[in-house]
Amino acid sequence: MHELTLAQVAKGLADKAFSSEELAQTLLARIAQRDGELNSFITVTPELALAQARAADQRRAAGETGALLGAPIAHKDLFCTEGVLTTCASRMLANFQAPYNATVVEKLAAAGTVTLGKANMDEFAMGSANENSHFGPVRNPWHTEHVPGGSSGGSAAAVAARLVPAATGTDTGGSIRQPAAFTNLTGLKPTYGRVSRWGMIAYASSLDQGGPLARSAEDCALLLQAMAGFDPKDSTSIDEPVPDYSASLNAPLEGLRIGLPKEYFGAGLDPRLGDAVQAAADELRKLGAQVREISLPNLGHAIPAYYVIAPAEASSNLSRFDGVRFGYRCESPVDLTDLYKRSRGEGFGTEVQRRIMVGTYALSAGYYDAYYIKAQQIRRLIKNDFMAAFKEVDVILGPTTPNPAWKLGAKNADPTAAYLEDFYTITANMAGLPGLSMPAGFVDGLPVGVQLLAPYFQEGRLLNIAHRYQQVTDWHSRSPEGF
């Protein structure tokens, strides 16, 4: 049963080929047996899972239907889950049990999903490798000496290793799409405001967005259907109707205009990943699409602007973790200042401290105008570039990452090298656009992905293109040897 996709799970449950409880027991046993090799889970929740599975089976027996009713998933460990540890992979929250459910958790529970556990991640979602976790790094099931990407690396590794058919993730600068590319999954970052951020512990509030990680576009459509929608509890949530994402999956691609930005194919891109993009473009041409070159002239400014804005917002968001109200508190503080300093110094890991310091510096008197305001101005230029491009084309195609997954520890001594791996993904977050990564081949035995970007609220178009591509290719159906 562990080989089933989310869509196949839905069919099996509807056909009574197995029960939700049987499926949950099978996958819980598989997690217990195999996750020691990967460290993809921080917390496994067998009692909760089996209770939810039995409830789903009862709902089906009473005549209720639904694609996700009884389907097992995992949640990235920054979605608050009532009564369950929600740690953000940090010592700061290592003993924090959320008193309520995030809206995403609530929506998926209402749809009947079964929560098998909380997935490992980079601490407070800060990282591109899932090596910045208080609970240890996550390993890539395609090659366990390599990273799975981050910050949603635990979610990605668990799905890729067939421990769970789908999982939630969050994407601040590529943290769904990059691990999807590294582990041969489909990952979708929705339009900013499409999925509620309420109960999702914040890293950078104007950039964070929740979304699905699964083995196919069809599965992502099922998960996004339940996740999306207006939430009055989230001031950034947008009241926009949610279409039936599954209904448009098979729409024809004739006449689709695809843009290839010339700035994507510079010196920083592994040429083999460039070849994968061109091969994907060729397949889409065969399906009726037109492909043309476009320009995003301000792309080169994205990395420095992002790494001012995101740390600035992080320094503000993480100021609440002070050792006073909740979270980690140092032993025997001598005064309030000592409590603050040692609680934060001991509770936060190196990368989180680094970003807090960068962000605080950028927001400080004398530097705010020179750094933060300038970065926001660049952000507007990047958005304007996309708006101009979407007057010429319907979607933009390119690499998801500059390189395939690197070995564990390879970039630890040079944080900037890891930051540069976000080059192709961060612009979607800066502009608030939806983006999707889909499997597109292998380099040295490691998966690589290509990325599609679309105008606001056109997640359905992205899922449609990816699904049609996955009907004529088999990259997404391949599984890591041994898993």
* Three-state DSSP class for residue 398: strand
Model confidence at 365: pLDDT above 90: no
Spacing of C-alpha 463 from chain mean position: 16
Q: Select which of 40, 90, 128, 151 is catalytic.
A: 151
Direct distance between the N- and C-terminal alpha carbons of the chain, in angstroms, rounded to an integer: 13
Question: If pLDDT is split at 50, 70 and 90, which confidence band does 459 have?
Answer: very high
User: How far from 217 is each of 20, 222, 385, CA to CA, in Å?
Assistant: 23, 9, 27
User: How far from 207 is each of 193, 270, 354, 431, 433, CA to CA, in Å?
Assistant: 10, 27, 19, 9, 10
Residue 79 and residue 187: Cα distance in Å, rounded? 17
Are 435 and 465 in contact by the 8 Å Cβ rule? The answer is no
Q: Name the more confident of 121 and 1.
A: 121
pLDDT tens, 29-83?
999 999 999 999 999 999 999 999 999 999 999 999 999 999 999 999 999 999 9
pLDDT mean across residues, the chain: 97
pLDDT tens, 170-190?
999 999 999 999 999 999 999
**Domain locations in the chain?**
6-255+395-477, 300-377
276: its two tokens: 């994968």
pLDDT tens, 275-292?
999 999 999 999 999 999
Beta strands in 376-445 (DSSP E): 395-399, 435-443
pLDDT tens, 111-156?
999 999 999 999 999 999 999 999 999 999 999 999 999 999 999 9
Q: Please state, for a pLDDT cut of 90, what percent of the chain lies above it.
A: 96
Say which CATH superfamily domain 6-255+395-477 falls into.
Amidase signature (AS) domain (3.90.1300.10)
* DSSP annotation string for 318-342: GGG-SSSSSS---SS-SSHHHHHHH
Question: If pLDDT is split at 50, 70 and 90, which confidence band does 250 have?
Answer: very high
Model confidence at 259: pLDDT above 90: yes
pLDDT of residue 326: 87
Examine the residue annotation and report whether 151 is marked as an active-site residue of this protein.
Answer: yes
User: How far from 326 is each of 83, 205, 320, CA to CA, in Å?
Assistant: 15, 21, 9
Nearest Cα neighbor of 396 from 442, 443, 434, 440 is 434
Model confidence at 397: pLDDT above 90: yes
173: its two tokens: 């600068």
Residue pointed to by tokens 């040079």: 414
Question: If pLDDT is split at 50, 70 and 90, which confidence band does 399 have?
Answer: very high
Residue 375 and residue 354: Cα distance in Å, rounded? 19
Q: Select which of 40, 90, 175, 196 is catalytic.
A: 175
Q: What value does the mean pLDDT take over residues 334-360?
A: 96
Q: Poorest-confidence range of 100-109, 240-249, 313-322, 413-422?
A: 413-422
Model confidence at 163: pLDDT above 90: yes
* DSSP annotation string for 149-184: -SSSHHHHHHHHTTSSSEEEEE-SSSTTHHHHHHHT
Q: Select which of 76, 107, 118, 189 is catalytic.
A: 76
Report which residue type is found at 82: E
User: How far from 400 is each of 100, 180, 236, 462, CA to CA, in Å?
Assistant: 35, 9, 26, 14
